[in-house]
Structure 1
Amino acid sequence: MTQSTTNAEETVSFGYEEVAPDEKTRRVGEVFTSVAKKYDIMNDAMSMGMHRGWKDRFVKRVKPQAGERILDMAGGTGDIAFRMTDRGADITVADINQDMLDVGAERAMERTETPDTGSLVFTCQNAEAVDFASNSFDAYTIVFGIRNVTFKDKALAEAHRVLRPGGRFYCMEFSTTEWAGFKEIYDVYSDKVMPRMGQAIAGDADSYRYLAESIRRFPKMSEFESMIRTAGFVNTKVESILGGAVAIHSGWKI
């Protein structure tokens, strides 16, 4: 059975559980509604601030240009979008969760813009079926979001559809580290420490337990690169960070 097949008996992963597709979509929504207000604080705590450097590195790979139209999917709180508008690109921030978008919009109101700052729009969208016309964007970005999408192949197909010919796809996601010894340490950290931090900072251990489990269930780097190629992208690449604990995937639409 392929991931995009739909029938009454189909299940998809929600952490370590197997649930119906609609159930996963609903429960993921509940997770991000629960953590939205503390999401950025938790990112700092869980990564010891390293996520900031990873995101800077990611945006350098994207190379946003003044006047470009970029779709930042699952970008609710605006972390990636703000970095790209600062380079003059016009960003559409899309997310399936309105609570995350509300946090991003509040942050945007507090920012100081310059004449060179690109435009910024927030819109509620499902990555599997966005409302944008084909061939609309110069680049598509998704950071730490695609592992939460119910049908990843549908999201990748939509990314390919909305990009113009010559458009570029960039995704940063947690993956499986290949460093000997580090994997065991990381497993203990994600299983034991992350839920406790979630409880202490956000008052929600279960949501962060799911987020840790979702990383484990995400395809390995080579497998996900294959999915990107299947969606129609060419010249695909994978850039490994921390031995693959984090990976930047890229591809082009021709």
Structure 2
Amino acid sequence: MSADPTTHFGYKTVATDEKASKVAEVFHSVAAKYDVMNDLMSLGVHRIWKKMTIESAAVRSGQRVLDLAGGTGDLAAAFSRKVGETGQVVLSDINDSMLKVGRSKLADMGILGNVEYVQANAESLPFPDNYFDCITIAFGLRNVTDKQKALESMARVLKPGGRLLVLEFSKPVHKSLSTLYDVYSFTLLPLMGKLIVNDSESYKYLAESIRMHPDQETLKGMMETAGLDNCNYTNMTGGIVALHKGFKF
């Protein structure tokens, strides 16, 4: 864990060793309707963001892919088809409720043979050094207690020549968009959470956690500090979301 005895949980300050359990409570609460809420919250645009991430991963037959904070398995399902029978996809999440939903969803899709499910903390990944050709983490890094430690753990298990992709909410590039986004995030999101999941607090946390996440340039610098090279990012939807990419050489 971080050496700092406190950290943020949304806008609240909590003990560092309590954050993971508090984040777990959020995702236990929303797991069953996570996909429904994603479609509603983003008006379906999250599917485009994820499609761009999958294309940027450039995964090939026979490769090993780790989908961290993989939740309900959208990326893992696509990677499973791309790596084929000779490849391997590991769908990993710290939250067992999310992992169970993902496993059930992929089984219903007929995806069985080349996907493994591992409950793990991104800060201390239980995999060998230089193991994966590609690692993705979509909308999960902001929930990690020690983000720098997690990025270093990802870099460790990435093969030389491999790539890490971080898809995450970020900072809108235009002030007018930022203002509208704030109104949406702090008014409509908790209301949707209340109506659909009967949980407004989890979606209030979602909005706050996005605002506490490092901006585009800061996250790029953190990836470089973790030992990744050629780090860059692409803004999507005006910077509401950014896709960061880094390589291990």
1:164 matched to 2:178: no
Q: Which residue of 2 aligns with 1:30?
A: 25
In structure 2, the CA distance between the partners of 1:213 and 1:14, relative to structure 1 (3 Å rule), is: same
Note if contact 2:2-2:145 (Cα within 8 Å) is conserved in structure 1.
no
Shift of 1:112: 3.3
Match for residue 100 of structure 1 among 90, 98, 101: 98
- Give the match's secondary structure for 1:183: helix
Aligned to 2:67: 72
Q: Could you say if the C-alpha distance between residues 204 and 190 of structure 1 is closer, same or farther in structure 2, counting changes exceeding 3 Å?
A: same
The equivalent position to 1:18 in structure 2, one of 13, 22, 41, is: 13
The 2-side partners of 1:94 and 1:109 are apart by: 16
Structure 2 distance, partners of 1:80, 1:58, is 8
Give 1:62-141 correspondences, 5 Å limit.
62-88=57-83, 89-113=87-111, 119-141=114-136
What RMSD in Å do the two structures reach over aligned CA positions?
Answer: 1.3
1:49 to 22, 44, 65: 44
What is the deviation of 1:180? 3.1
Quick one: distance in 1 between partners of 2:110 and 2:66? 22
Secondary structure in structure 2 of the residue aligned to 1:133: coil
Matched, 1:61 2:59: no
Q: Measured at CA, do residues 17 and 165 of structure 1 come closer, stay the same or move farther in structure 2, by a change above 3 Å?
A: same
Q: CA deviation at 1:118?
A: 7.0
| Amino acid in structure 2 at the alignment position of 1:105 | R
TM-score (norm 1): 0.94
After the TM superposition, which parts of structure 1 deviate over 6 Å for at least 4 consecutive aligned residues? Answer: none
CA drift of 1:76 comes to 2.1
Query: What TM-score, normalized by structure 2, do the two folds share?
Result: 0.96
Structure 1, 41-50 or 88-97: larger mean CA deviation? 88-97
Shift of the alpha carbon at 1:95?
Answer: 0.5
Partner of 2:82, secondary structure, is: coil
Q: State the identity %.
A: 44
Equivalent residues in 2 for 1:148-163 (5 A)?
Answer: 148-163=143-158
Deviation digits for residues 177-233 of structure 1, max 9, x if unmatched?
012311100000000100000111111100010011000000110001000000000
Say which SS state the counterpart of residue 49 (structure 1) adopts: coil
Aligned pairs for 1:180-199 (under 5 A) are: 180-199=175-194
Provide the secondary structure at the position in 2 that maps to 1:135: coil
- Which letter maps to 1:109? A
- The one-letter amino acid paired with 1:26 is S
Deviation at residue 91 of structure 1 after TM alignment: 0.8
**Corresponding position: 1:40 with 2:35:** yes
User: SS at the partner of 2:110?
Assistant: coil
**Aligned match of 1:214:** 209
Report how far residue 5 of structure 1 moved: 4.3
Unaligned runs of 5+ in 1: none
2:228 to 225, 229, 233: 233
Q: Which amino acid aligns with 2:99?
A: L
Distance of 2:117 and 2:173 partners within structure 1:
36
Contact persistence 1:91–1:118 (CA under 8 A): no
Residue 109 of structure 1 deviates from its aligned partner by 1.2
Counterpart contact for 2:65–2:90, Cα < 8 Å = yes
